[in-house]
Amino acid sequence: MLGVARRRLGSGCVLGQLAQALRPAAAARSYSAAAKEITVREALNSALDEEMSADPSVFLMGEEVGEYQGAYKISKGLLDKYGPDRVLDTPITEAGFTGIGVGAAYHGLRPIVEFMTFNFSMQAIDHIINSAAKSNYMSAGQISVPIVFRGPNGAAAGVGAQHSQCYAAWYAHVPGLKVLAPYSAEDARGLLKAAIRDPDPVVFLENELLYGESFPVSDEVLDSSFCLPIGKAKIERQGKDVTITAFSKMVGYALQAADILAKEGISAEVINLRSIRPLDRAAINASVRKTNRLVTVEEGFPQHGIGAEICMAVVEDSFEYLDAPVERIAGADVPMPYAANLERMAVPQVEDIVRAAKRACYRAVPMAATA
């Protein structure tokens, strides 16, 4: 692959110099190819493998993606299979290797840039927004930027304020970017394939705490041709009393809340957004027009968040269908605490969703009455 890059970019390019410094590592490929249940980690690994196999212009770059096989072992076995020309270990300089990736995309390659955490993407945000997101528009469509920026996003556990932010709202604010946030193994596999094949820059927000979770998958999902459409949400659970929207790890919390609510006679419909930008307004509004109530759930800060955007989408398109005020569940409006007990209070919990759904259904005392 880098032979192509050198011909297009010049033999003295930084990308070529990086590749020459690499050494291959012996690693066994390890993911489930036939089982009916796979982890999110295996789903991402298999998607990367299949897309790199299908398209020689696809390559992966980032810190420790090669010889260490990824900080979270998402790229396990890829260096051994594809070599250092297509799995590039980079220095600890996000601004540098992200700029190299965008430049490679300008020249027709399909880079996948991995951030060890999306908190570190702030070092490279100029390239993501000014170099990648705006180039197609500013070139009048002459320059496509088929690049994926991926890595863990949001809170993990005990890593403090500088490593716990959710960047969904940050990047969803920018025209020219597509922003995806998978929950399940099916989401991870199908959306990553879609992101790699897309002609535009895609921000792919994973969750560290979901990597080891297993999900059942069908034979269709395991097929190499499987791909999910960008911009389409998924109804994870049908319901008729209240709509709950969520993405990434919060989908699991919403489903747990729906189970609890069902025992109390409240039928909750859970929407897995999957795509943050573009947002599936049609699916959200169709659900609200059926249930007449809405609870939005997100890990990020409340102000200017994804929940606020969803609320406005419903107010604009379905206000007359609402039978109760919209309830918004989000992270606390403070930097993430380090102490475990405070950290739990700063992140939405299942019981928060349950209480909000009950308020929307007039089955609990409103918060204003207890203030």
Instruction: Please report, for the chain, the start and end positions of each structural domain, with discontinuous segments joined by +.
Output: 36-222, 234-361
pLDDT per position as a tens digit, 101-114: 999 999 999 999 99
CA–CA gap between residue 288 and residue 243 (Å, rounded): 6
The reported pTM is: 0.88
The HSE-up count of residue 305 (CA atoms within 13 Å, CB side) is: 19
Give the residue-averaged pLDDT of 35-50. Answer: 94
Residues 6+ apart with CB under 8 A from 61: 18, 87, 88, 90, 97, 100, 101, 111, 112, 113, 114
User: Of 266, 116, 127, 277, which is closest to residue 206 (Cα–Cα)?
Assistant: 116
CA–CA gap between residue 160 and residue 60 (Å, rounded): 28
Confidence at residue 365, expressed as pLDDT on a 0 to 100 scale: 60
Confidence at residue 157, expressed as pLDDT on a 0 to 100 scale: 86
Residue type, 334: V
Are domains 36-222 and 234-361 of this chain identical in fold?
yes
CA–CA gap between residue 8 and residue 370 (Å, rounded): 66
Give the residue-averaged pLDDT of 92-97. Answer: 96
Distance of CA 52 to the CA centre of its chain: 20
Confidence at residue 12, expressed as pLDDT on a 0 to 100 scale: 38
**Six-digit token pair at 125?**
């945000």
**Does the pLDDT at position 3 exceed 90?**
no
DSSP string, 121-162: GGGGHHIIIIIIITHHHHTTTS-----EEEEE-S--SS--GG
Distances (CA, A) of 26 to 66, 69, 91, 150, 371: 10, 10, 21, 24, 61
Q: Residue 148: is it exposed, middle or buried by C-beta count within 10 angstroms (0-12/13-18/19+)?
A: buried
User: Of 290, 234, 266, 256, which is closest to residue 360 (Cα–Cα)?
Assistant: 266
CATH topology (fold) of 36-222: Rossmann fold (3.40.50)
**Does the pLDDT at position 208 exceed 80?**
yes
Q: How many helices (H) and strands (E) does the chain have?
A: 16, 14
Active-site residue set: 94, 163
CATH topology (fold) of 234-361: Rossmann fold (3.40.50)
The DSSP 8-state label assigned to residue 235 in this structure reads E
pLDDT per position as a tens digit, 5-23: 443 444 334 344 434 433 3
